[in-house]
């Protein structure tokens, strides 16, 4: 009989694993105050920035790595990590795409992010972060006409110093947690975005992150400010080449939505997950937090996490303004020996604040998948509401799914709902599809996509397609 | 069209089918009846390619080919259809999406062009109407939240769309009220054609009031204990399955 082997099918290889040979401007590995100063000097930063980094570094020395999550990994040697690496050709800063290293552009093409095409066809302004320094920022002019600032973080520090000074660390302070503190000390680059009052950003803003150089941790930092009554939708994609060693990635993303503003932030994360036996892969320790600072503001996180050996990430929303809305939608897939401990925090402070959490965890192979979420309703948050739904899907019998919902309610008028399910892709479902002529690989993709539908429908169109493909690739060779 | 000879099937080393011989020609309708546990559903699932059954002996030829070497999806594309006794729910996957994927997989296999959404919808609407089904059902997740009757009708709808050469209907009549039974039976009867063979697996004879079979077979303890014309079903209805017991004496039946 033509038997379908689920084990074999989910044991496919990572397809983004190529390595680009570029001249890098790399600081020797190791971390001390001099390295922090060196990074700051290389970027020609103003004093406040350097001092902020140093304060963060000194605070970091007093901290120890968090151990409360389900993820397990050998100790990280922070002195064996290189904290700064920039492609040499970008030293003088490319003025246009023509000046971008063609090798780099080919890399993006392999990733399916042809900057030029996107620029022409899709209307996406891409701020590409390649090993720590932004190499190309498109569409700047058109955005500038509307008063929108979209540039690399380094550039923002130089050109929009006051905005950076005002908002940096205002959502995730440098004391926040071990990895965010490390990031604050050594962050290399990232994206910066400011939408002025009343402006609706006419295109999806997009960043593509990629870790390239050996032993470089990527510490990018993103800051997005939506001023009163503005709107922005932001997309972030990530991949990394295959390596035997584990690479550390500790990013920080801060979102600030003022009165009546709305920020949509979507991530498709496909860092190298390690091989079939759990060797190599990215350690992804990320702090993402949004602050609905003004009344009637709204922040939505949508994430599709298919990569990384370890994913440790909890995109959260602080609901300060009255009637503010926070949303978190997540698809996390773990295959082989991948581990994910991911979820969100919804902190209700303002009156009539609302939050929605939809989490879809898919575990295959020996994958471990945990949802960890905190819904906290403060005394001040009269009329707050939360709805949480956590669904887990298991493929095979060696994987695991866990759910850790924490709920703290201090206001009696709050309403908090939580639903959770765990199911297994049944032989029955598979056989049913097959008996209708649909190949097993396509059937699995179909069933998994069906499971994730509620999240995918929130992604911008082209990202939704990419996400579906990624799921397909992560589970098999191609999508049907 | 279908030639089953000396088919032995076990699950977990426990023999379920113990030497089935059955020949079904194009244009014929056969009813396979029998008490619970006699192996009716096993036979249906083995023909469709369910892989948790082990075929220990015998052979199944379909249109001259060895059916048992084909994967379930290959069988479906070659025109074998199984209407499930318990149709499976697939959350988040629209009914119409599965239907379209199924039909197009079959069309590609035959070297025909895939149908686009417009042509496909026109085709489905027709069949839907015949089955007395609401179009909204197309956009709901496969079988999720469907009533028992809706599930069974949906199976027949799939059959009507796939237009199989050999259809096996596993207890499609169970769990239906009289009105739903009539609709489902009409749907099946409508599929009767000189090019197509139907195997109705059923516990009761009531479906056979609407669809008169050419042959009736009674399974007992993994063997066909008795075969006959449509009147055999009526006789079973009167006398129960007790009088055909392969283990005691399989030769007492009336062979017409």
Q: Is residue A62 part of a domain?
A: yes
Q: Is residue A9 part of a domain?
A: no
How many structural domains is chain A composed of?
1
**Facing A438 at nearest CB: one of B87, B92, B102:** B102
Is B132 near chain A, with CB under 8 Å? no
**How far is B70 from chain A, CA to nearest CA, in Å?**
6
- Closest by alpha carbon to B62, among B86, B46, B41? B46
Residue pLDDT, tens place only, A170-219: 999 999 999 999 999 999 888 899 999 999 998 778 765 555 555 456 88
Range ranked top by mean pLDDT from A24-28, A54-58, A101-105, A125-129: A54-58
Is B90 in Cβ contact with A438 (below 8 Å)? Answer: no
Would you state the pLDDT for residue A395? 82
Is B98 in Cβ contact with A436 (below 8 Å)? Answer: yes
Are residues A19 and A212 in contact, defined by beta-carbon separation less than 8 angstroms?
A: yes
**Facing A450 at nearest CB: one of B93, B105, B162:** B93
pLDDT higher than threshold 60 for residue A120: no
Is B141 in Cβ contact with A446 (below 8 Å)? Answer: no
Are residues A330 and A324 in contact, defined by beta-carbon separation less than 8 angstroms?
A: no
Report the pLDDT averaged over residues A467-476.
Answer: 64
Q: Is residue A19 part of a domain?
A: yes
179-218 of B, contacting A, C-beta below 8 A = none
Report ipTM for this prediction.
Answer: 0.92
Report the pLDDT averaged over residues A235-243.
Answer: 62
* Strand B2-11 versus strand A385-394 pairing type: unpaired
- Flag the least confident range among A70-74, A140-144, B205-209: A140-144
Mean pLDDT value across chain A: 80
Would you state the pLDDT for residue A94? 47
**Facing A450 at nearest CB: one of B72, B88, B90:** B90
Is A435 in Cβ contact with B49 (below 8 Å)? Answer: yes
Report the pLDDT averaged over residues A454-465.
Answer: 74
Report the pLDDT averaged over residues B216-225.
Answer: 91
Considering only CB atoms, which chain B residues are within 8 Å of A454?
A: 92
Report the pLDDT averaged over residues A342-352.
Answer: 95
pLDDT higher than threshold 70 for residue A109: no
**How far is B243 from chain A, CA to nearest CA, in Å?**
35
Would you state the pLDDT for residue A477? 28
pTM of the model: 0.76
Considering only CB atoms, which chain A residues are within 8 Å of B72?
A: 2, 431, 434-435
Q: Is residue A410 part of a domain?
A: yes
Is B56 near chain A, with CB under 8 Å? no
**Facing A431 at nearest CB: one of B72, B91, B141:** B72
Report the pLDDT averaged over residues A9-20.
Answer: 54
Is B79 near chain A, with CB under 8 Å? no
**Facing B88 at nearest CB: one of A1, A428, A439:** A428
Is B148 near chain A, with CB under 8 Å? no
Q: Is residue A301 part of a domain?
A: yes
Cα torsion A466, A459, B89, A356 to 10°: value is 150
Considering only CB atoms, which chain A residues are within 8 Å of B88?
A: 426, 428-429, 431-432
Report the pLDDT averaged over residues B28-33.
Answer: 94
In chain B the beta strands, taken as DSSP E runs, fall at 2-11, 14-24, 29-33, 54-62, 65-66, 80-83, 90-94, 141-142, 166-170, 197-202, 215-220, 223-228
- Which residues have a Cβ under 8 Å from the Cβ of B98 and sit 6 or more positions away? A433, A436, A438, A446, B90, B142
* Mutation for testing the B interface, residue in A436, A458, A480 having most B CBs under 10 Å: A436
Q: What is the DSSP string of A382-410?
A: TT-EEEEEEEEEE-SSS-EEEEEEEEEE-
Report the pLDDT averaged over residues A392-418.
Answer: 89
- Flag the least confident range among A34-38, A66-70, A240-244, B68-72: A240-244
Write out the H or E segment, with its range, that includes residue A456. helix A453-456
Write out the H or E segment, with its range, that includes residue B184. helix B178-189
The CB-based long-range contact list for A154-163 (8 Å cut-off, 24+ gap) reads: A154/A43, A154/A189, A155/A192, A156/A192, A156/A223, A157/A43, A157/A45, A157/A46, A157/A49, A158/A44, A160/A192, A160/A194, A161/A46, A163/A192, A163/A194, A163/A225
Is B72 in Cβ contact with A3 (below 8 Å)? Answer: no
Question: Distance between CA atoms of A437 and A433, rounded to whole angstroms?
Answer: 7
**Any idea how long chain B is?**
256
Q: What percent of chain A has pLDDT over 70?
A: 74
Question: Distance between CA atoms of B31 and B18, rounded to whole angstroms?
Answer: 19
Question: Distance between CA atoms of A444 and A399, rounded to whole angstroms?
Answer: 16
Residue pLDDT, tens place only, B137-179: 899 999 998 988 899 999 999 999 999 999 999 999 888 888 8
Which pLDDT band, with edges at 50, 70 and 90, does A329 fall under?
very high
Considering only CB atoms, which chain B residues are within 8 Å of A439?
A: 73, 105
pLDDT higher than threshold 90 for residue A92: no
Which pLDDT band, with edges at 50, 70 and 90, does A90 fall under?
very low
- Residue A144: count other Cβ atoms within 10 Å of its Cβ: 12
Q: Is residue A155 part of a domain?
A: yes
Strand order in the sheet with A125-130: A133-137, A125-130, A205-210, A231-239, A262-270, A298-305, A325-334, A354-363, A385-394, A415-424
Considering only CB atoms, which chain A residues are within 8 Å of B106?
A: 437
Are residues B68 and B26 in contact, defined by beta-carbon separation less than 8 angstroms?
A: no
Considering only CB atoms, which chain B residues are within 8 Å of A437?
A: 73, 76-77, 102, 105-106, 109, 162
Considering only CB atoms, which chain A residues are within 8 Å of B141?
A: 450
Is B162 in Cβ contact with A2 (below 8 Å)? Answer: no
Chain A: residue whose CA lies nearest to B158: A436
Residue pLDDT, tens place only, B71-94: 999 999 999 999 999 999 998 899
**Facing A2 at nearest CB: one of B71, B101, B102:** B71
pLDDT higher than threshold 50 for residue A134: no
Q: Is residue A480 part of a domain?
A: no
* Beta-bridge partners for A403: A371
Q: What percent of chain B has pLDDT over 90?
A: 59
Residue A110: which domain range?
Answer: 15-433
Is B69 near chain A, with CB under 8 Å? yes
> Quick one: how far is CA A433 from the chain centroid?
34
Are residues A138 and A203 in contact, defined by beta-carbon separation less than 8 angstroms?
A: no
**How far is A269 from chain B, CA to nearest CA, in Å?**
23
Considering only CB atoms, which chain B residues are within 8 Å of A449?
A: 92-93
Are residues A123 and A161 in contact, defined by beta-carbon separation less than 8 angstroms?
A: no
Would you state the pLDDT for residue A440? 85
pLDDT higher than threshold 90 for residue A252: yes
- What's chain B's Rg over C-alpha atoms? 18
Q: What percent of chain A has pLDDT over 90?
A: 39
Report the pLDDT averaged over residues A340-366.
Answer: 92
Phi-psi region of B12 (alpha: psi -120 to 50; beta: other; left: phi over 0): left
> Quick one: how far is CA A61 from the chain centroid?
26
Question: Distance between CA atoms of B225 and B219, rounded to whole angstroms?
Answer: 6
Report the pLDDT averaged over residues B44-51.
Answer: 93
- Flag the least confident range among A13-22, A109-118, A371-380: A109-118
Would you state the pLDDT for residue B249? 47
Is B52 in Cβ contact with A427 (below 8 Å)? Answer: yes
**How far is B256 from chain A, CA to nearest CA, in Å?**
36
Q: Is residue A43 part of a domain?
A: yes
Q: Is the dihedral of CA B162, B166, B170, B171 positive or negative?
A: positive
Residue pLDDT, tens place only, A2-14: 445 545 555 555 5
- Which residues have a Cβ under 8 Å from the Cβ of A385 and sit 6 or more positions away? A352, A353, A354, A355, A414, A415, A416
pLDDT higher than threshold 60 for residue A278: yes
Report the pLDDT averaged over residues A386-414.
Answer: 89
Chain B: residue whose CA lies nearest to A425: B90
């Amino acid at each position: 009989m033509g038997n379908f082997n689920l084990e074999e099918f989910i044991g496919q290889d990572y397809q983004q694993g190529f390595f680009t040979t570029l001249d890098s401007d790399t600081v020797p590995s190791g971390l001390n105050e001099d390295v922090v100063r060196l990074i700051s000097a290389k970027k020609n930063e103003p004093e406040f920035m350097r001092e902020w980094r140093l304060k963060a570094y000194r605070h970091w020395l007093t901290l120890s790595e968090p151990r409360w999550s389900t993820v397990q990994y050998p100790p990280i040697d922070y002195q064996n990590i290189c904290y700064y690496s920039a492609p040499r050709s970008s030293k003088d800063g490319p003025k246009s795409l023509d000046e971008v290293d063609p090798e780099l552009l080919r890399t993006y093409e392999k990733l399916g992010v042809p900057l030029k095409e996107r620029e022409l066809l899709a209307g996406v302004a891409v701020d590409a972060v390649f090993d720590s320094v932004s190499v190309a920022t498109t569409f700047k002019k058109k955005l500038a006409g509307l008063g929108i600032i979209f540039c690399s973080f380094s550039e923002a520090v130089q050109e929009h110093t006051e905005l950076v000074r005002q908002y940096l660390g205002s959502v995730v302070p440098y004391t926040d947690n071990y990895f965010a503190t490390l990031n604050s000390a050594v962050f290399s680059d990232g994206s910066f975005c400011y939408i002025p009052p009343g402006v609706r950003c006419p295109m999806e803003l997009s960043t593509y992150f990629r870790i390239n150089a050996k032993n470089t941790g990527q510490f990018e930092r993103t800051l997005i400010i939506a001023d009163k009554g503005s709107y922005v939708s932001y997309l972030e994609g990530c991949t990394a080449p295959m390596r035997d060693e584990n690479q550390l990635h500790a990013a920080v993303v801060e979102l600030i939505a003022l009165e009546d503003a709305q920020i949509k932030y979507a991530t498709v994360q496909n860092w190298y997950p390690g091989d079939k036996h759990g060797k190599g892969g990215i350690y992804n320790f990320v702090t993402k937090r949004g602050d609905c600072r003004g009344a009637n503001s709204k922040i939505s996180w949508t994430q599709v996490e298919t990569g990384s050996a370890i994913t440790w990430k909890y995109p959260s929303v602080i609901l300060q303004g009255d009637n503010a809305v926070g949303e978190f939608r997540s698809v996390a897939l773990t295959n082989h020996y991948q581990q994910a401990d991911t979820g969100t925090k919804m902190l209700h402070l303002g009156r009539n604040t609302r939050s929605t959490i939809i989490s879809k965890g898919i575990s295959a192979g020996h994958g471990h998948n945990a949802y960890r979420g905190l819904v906290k309703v403060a005394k001040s948050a009269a009329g707050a509401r939360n709805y949480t739904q956590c669904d887990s899907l298991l493929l095979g019998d060696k994987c695991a799914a866990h759910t850790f919902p924490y709920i703290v309610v201090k206001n009696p008028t709050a309403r908090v709902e939580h639903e959770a399910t765990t199911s297994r892709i049944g032989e029955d479902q598979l056989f049913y599809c097959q008996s209708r002529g649909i190949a097993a690989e396509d059937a699995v993709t179909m069933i998994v996509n069906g499971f994730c539908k509620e999240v995918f429908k929130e992604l911008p169109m082209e990202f939704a397609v990419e996400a579906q493909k990624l799921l397909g690739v992560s589970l098999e060779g191609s999508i049907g | 069209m279908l030639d089953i000879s000396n088919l032995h099937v076990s699950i977990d080393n426990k023999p379920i089918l113990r030497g089935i011989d059955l020949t079904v020609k194009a244009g014929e309708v056969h009813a396979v009846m029998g008490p619970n546990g006699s192996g009716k559903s096993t036979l249906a699932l083995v023909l469709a390619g369910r892989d948790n059954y082990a075929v220990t002996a015998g052979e199944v030829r379909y249109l001259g080919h060895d059916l048992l070497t084909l994967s379930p999806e290959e069988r479906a594309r070659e025109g074998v259809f199984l209407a499930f006794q318990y149709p499976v729910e697939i959350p988040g996957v629209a009914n119409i999406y599965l239907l379209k994927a199924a039909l197009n997989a079959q069309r590609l296999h035959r070297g025909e062009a895939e149908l686009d959404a417009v042509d496909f919808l026109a085709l489905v609407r027709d069949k839907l109407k015949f089955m007395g089904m609401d179009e909204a059902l197309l956009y709901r997740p496969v079988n999720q939240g469907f009533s028992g009757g809706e599930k069974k009708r949906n199976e027949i709808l799939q059959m009507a769309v796939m237009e199989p050469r050999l259809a096996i209907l596993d207890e499609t009549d169970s769990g239906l009220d009289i009105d739903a039974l009539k609709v489902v039976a009409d749907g099946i009867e409508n599929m009767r054609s000189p090019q197509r063979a139907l195997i109705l697996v059923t516990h009761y004879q009531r479906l056979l009031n609407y669809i008169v079979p050419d042959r009736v077979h009674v399974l007992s303890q993994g063997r066909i204990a008795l075969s006959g014309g449509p009147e055999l079903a009526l006789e079973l209805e009167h006398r129960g399955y007790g009088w055909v017991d392969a283990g005691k004496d399989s030769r007492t039946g009336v062979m017409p």
